């Protein structure tokens, strides 16, 4: 599967641009309110996590009680740029995109690489908050899929995606931390790549220019509530 190539802009309107990407390179286009500027980021490498709150994606803190763990690492916390939108060409790459907007509005959406692979993507995700609730769930972008809410603090969505954009919008308390877990074809990373499907905007760059390995689940919080 190929990763999705992205652009971002500062409005709550999702657009589509004609873009493609080989899985060996993560290339990004950042679009602000002014002229478009292009950026190219190298593929992620391990060992470069930064502390949470440094302005870039950071690893979750290690236990402080002297214990160790042999299970999956705790979710990384991502501080998203508020009111930033990403664009990706459906059918040209696999990606799960998370956007946060002022007042607690969220948009989580995804694409597949069907045009390149001739395969569909069975995408399943769950979003949850530790406090408060997830409200105003809108599945208008989930044509052919389904969404459910097992409890007020959790929403689950699933769809078989090919050359369309699928996604959901919802609201939480402003500033809430959202935990997102997702699989594509039952996998939490791209096959053979060890690369996450997650994409977001941080510090004006796709994935904050982060060169470490993202967790799945991953936690998100808006920079400005």
* Per-residue pLDDT tens over the stretch 202-215: 999 999 999 888 99
Residue 29 falls inside a structural domain:
yes
C-alpha 119/C-alpha 33 separation (Å) is 36
Would 130 be classed as within a structural domain?
A: yes
Residue 39 belongs to some domain of the structure? yes
Q: Which residues contact 54 (CB under 8 A, 6 or more apart)?
A: none
- Tell me if 199 is assigned to some domain: yes
Q: How buried is 136 (Cβ within 10 angstroms: 0-12 exposed, 13-18 middle, 19+ buried)?
A: exposed
In a domain, 24, yes or no: yes
Q: Is residue 68 part of a domain?
A: no
Entry pTM: 0.75
- pLDDT single digits (tens) 44-64: 222 222 223 333 575 444 333
CATH of the domain at 20: 2.60.40
Q: Quick one: the chain helix, strand, coil %, rounded to 5?
A: 5, 45, 55
d(CA 210, CA 158): 28
**What is the structure's pLDDT at 68?**
44
Percent of the chain with pLDDT over 70: 70
Beta bridge partners of 184: 123, 187
Domain count, the chain: 1
The answer to whether residues 123 and 110 touch, using CB atoms and an 8 Å cutoff, is yes
The answer to whether position 63 is within a domain reads no
Q: Which domain holds residue 129?
A: 6-44+75-222
CA distance 13 to 83: 10
Pairing of strands 146-151, 178-184: unpaired
Q: What is the pLDDT of residues 126-166, one digit of tens each?
A: 999 999 999 999 999 999 999 999 999 999 999 999 999 99
Could you tell me if residue 145 is inside a domain? yes
Which helix (H) or strand (E) element contains residue 129? strand 121-129
């Amino acid at each position: 599967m190929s990763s999705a190539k992205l652009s971002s802009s500062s409005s709550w309107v999702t657009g589509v641009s004609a873009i493609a990407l080989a899985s060996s390179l993560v290339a990004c286009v950042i679009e602000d309110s002014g002229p478009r500027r292009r950026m190219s980021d190298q593929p992620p490498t391990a060992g470069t996590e930064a502390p949470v709150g440094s302005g870039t994606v950071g690893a979750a803190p290690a236990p402080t009680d002297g214990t160790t763990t042999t299970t999956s690492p705790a979710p990384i916390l991502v501080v998203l740029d508020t009111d930033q939108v990403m664009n990706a060409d459906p059918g040209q790459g696999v990606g799960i995109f998370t956007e946060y907007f002022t007042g607690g509005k969220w948009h989580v959406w995804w694409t597949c690489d069907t045009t390149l692979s001739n395969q569909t993507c069975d995408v399943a995700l769950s979003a949850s908050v530790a406090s408060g609730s997830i409200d105003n769930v809108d599945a208008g972008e989930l044509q052919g899929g389904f969404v459910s809410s097992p409890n007020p603090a959790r929403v689950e969505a699933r769809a078989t995606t090919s050359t369309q954009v699928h996604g959901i919008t919802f609201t939480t308390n402003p500033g809430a931390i959202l935990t997102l877990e997702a699989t594509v074809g039952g996998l939490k990373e791209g096959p053979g790549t060890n690369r996450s499907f997650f994409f977001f905007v941080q510090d004006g760059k796709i994935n904050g220019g982060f060169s470490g390995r993202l967790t799945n689940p991953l936690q998100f919080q808006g920079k400005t509530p």
